[in-house]
Amino acid sequence: MLLSFKIYFLFIFFSFSLIIQVFNYGLDNSNNPFYSFQGQTLETNRHWEMGENAMIFDKYIRLTGDERNSKGWLWNKNPNTMKYWSSIITFRISSSNKRIGADGFVFWYTEKRAITGETFGNQENFKGMGVFLDTFDNDNSGDAPLLQLMINDGTLFYDNLVDGKSSVVAKCTFKCRNLQDTSKIKITYFNDEIIVETSLQPNEPWQECFTFKGVDLSLGYYFGVSAQTGGVSDNHDIYSINTQDLTNKEDSLAQKQKEKQKEKQKEKQIIEEKENEKDLLQDIEKLTQEIVDEIQSKRKEIQQEMSSLEKNEDFHLTQEALKEFEQTIEGLKIHQKSVYEKYSHLETQIRELHEFIGNQISGGNVELATSLTTFTKVLSHLHSVVKETETEFKKTDPAFQKEAEKFRSKIEKTGSFAFGFVIFILFQVVVGFAFLFWRKRKLSKKKIY
């Protein structure tokens, strides 16, 4: 009876723990409890098991200690049911040997699990994926530690003598040995791509190591890590493995990829726009140079015409005739003014005389009255002659002015042509620049961001 009660109690306890894990996973999808662990909770985490020389410490699992020819592994017990996923491995590799260490550890996603072998503690002819952190520089190329990807159908093997160069498909250098704090590796499988990112320090942002496309990883494989030492050694400590299910986030990540592609397209359009602006500036420079050349050419033609005209004798005669004609007009104007002044003076004298005679007649001087009548007739005739002269001069003066203007316009015709041509050229410049900027605005409206 007591045994049955204990069994029943244990069943209730583990069922409740499982419900709590699932409930927490539903609230926070960052860690899938079936494929994740924290170092200090491994003893109570029934989804993982360790083997060979692996040991549990307070905050981490030590796959191998700092001793030669050691192996250790940690495997998840549950076949993977996630179509897409992401795993973050928090680790630290350290040794008393500051210069070199060996051999490294591997994050596995393989068809079989917990089979000890010579490939960093796992079987050689594995089927699936391995992300290798190879810390020993076997080929003396100076690029260790190397983070490398290997995809295997069960027919390939990792050649330690050349650091796997014959079988890996992507790699980058990741110098993470003997740091004071932990480092992280993030492995994402999404849309048939494997993306590997790194972070040397706990709060350091992710740096992309490599992306490899065209990978089809089957469901039902197992997650695991393993490590191995050889002639030299390192401590390989795993602090946590946090696995996230990306299956339900496929649309979200696809949207991010679209946004990333859109940003690249926008950058491309900016480059194209700069090239278009460069072409526009070249067009403006070309148009400006053409206008300058045309102005200089026309200027030479005008100078040649003016030079030819100055050499023409008729041109000089015409200028002299115009000058003489204008002098005559000025002389007539002066003469007219003089006549007006003399006539005004005469009128004043006659008016005074007329008043004097009128006074005399009033006094009874008959002879003087007869002389006054004769004088008045002469004066009236003189007045009519003056008026006729004035009228004729007024008719002649506009005619002279008109003829003078005709001569003057002929002489200035060449200069007016040059001014008009300059105005025409400036109009061409304005229209040309307006067309170029209209075309730039039209091109910018067609761009799509």
Asked if pLDDT for residue 381 goes beyond 80, the answer is: no
Average pLDDT on 223-251 reads: 91
For 86-129, how does the pLDDT look when each residue is reduced to its tens digit (9 = 90+)?
A: 999 999 999 988 788 889 999 999 999 999 999 999 999 999 99
Across 67-81, 223-237, 287-301, 395-409, least confident range: 395-409
Between 15 and 210, name the one with better pLDDT.
Answer: 210
Q: Would you tell me how many other CB atoms lie within 10 Å of the CB of residue 274? A: 10
Highest mean pLDDT among 60-74, 308-322, 366-380, 404-418: 60-74
For 291-327, how does the pLDDT look when each residue is reduced to its tens digit (9 = 90+)?
A: 667 777 766 776 776 677 666 655 555 666 667 666 7
Between 276 and 245, name the one with better pLDDT.
Answer: 245
DSSP-based three-state secondary structure for 298: helix
Q: What b-and-e string marks burial along 97-132, b requiring 16 or more CB atoms within 10 Å of the CB?
A: eeeebbbbbbbbbbebbbbebebbbbbeebbbbbbb
Q: Strand 207-213 vs strand 193-199: parallel, antiparallel, or unpaired?
A: antiparallel
pTM tops 0.85: no
DSSP-based three-state secondary structure for 83: coil
CA distances from 442 to 187, 274, 438 (A): 47, 15, 6
Please choose, from the candidates 119, 121, 123, 68, the residue with its C-alpha nearest in 3D space to the C-alpha of residue 97. 68
Q: Is 154 exposed, middle or buried (0-12, 13-18, 19+ CB in 10 A)?
A: middle
Chain centre distance of CA 3: 75
Asked if pLDDT for residue 17 goes beyond 50, the answer is: no
Q: What is the mean pLDDT of the chain?
A: 76
User: What does the alpha-carbon distance between residue 276 and residue 271 come to, in Å, rounded to a whole number?
Assistant: 9
The pair of structure tokens assigned to 219 is 């469901």
pLDDT at 40: 64
Please choose, from the candidates 129, 49, 97, the residue with its C-alpha nearest in 3D space to the C-alpha of residue 230. 97
DSSP 33-71: TTS-EEGGGGGG-TTEEEEET-EE-SS-EEEE-SSSS-E
User: What does the alpha-carbon distance between residue 169 and residue 149 come to, in Å, rounded to a whole number?
Assistant: 6
Residue whose token pair is 């003066």: 397
% of the chain with per-residue pLDDT over 90: 38
Across 104-113, 120-129, 139-148, 424-433, least confident range: 424-433
Between 264 and 418, name the one with better pLDDT.
Answer: 264
The answer to whether domain 25-245 has CATH 2.60.120.200 is yes
Q: Is 143 exposed, middle or buried (0-12, 13-18, 19+ CB in 10 A)?
A: middle
Q: Strand 193-199 vs strand 183-190: parallel, antiparallel, or unpaired?
A: antiparallel
Asked if pLDDT for residue 223 goes beyond 80, the answer is: yes
Please choose, from the candidates 33, 62, 27, 59, the residue with its C-alpha nearest in 3D space to the C-alpha of residue 45. 33
Chain centre distance of CA 332: 78
pLDDT band at 337; cut points 50, 70, 90: low
% of the chain with per-residue pLDDT over 70: 57
The pair of structure tokens assigned to 326 is 């204008």
Would you give the end-to-end CA distance of the chain in angstroms? 75
pLDDT at 309: 61
**Contact (CB, 8 A) for 223 and 76:** yes
pLDDT band at 408; cut points 50, 70, 90: low
Sign of CA dihedral 62, 64, 66, 67: positive
Cis peptide before 145 (omega within 30 of 0): yes
The pair of structure tokens assigned to 408 is 């003057």
**Contact (CB, 8 A) for 178 and 93:** yes
pLDDT band at 242; cut points 50, 70, 90: very high
Highest mean pLDDT among 21-25, 309-313, 429-433: 309-313
Average pLDDT on 396-406 reads: 55
User: What does the alpha-carbon distance between residue 449 and residue 442 come to, in Å, rounded to a whole number?
Assistant: 15
Average pLDDT on 63-86 reads: 95
User: What does the alpha-carbon distance between residue 104 and residue 365 come to, in Å, rounded to a whole number?
Assistant: 159
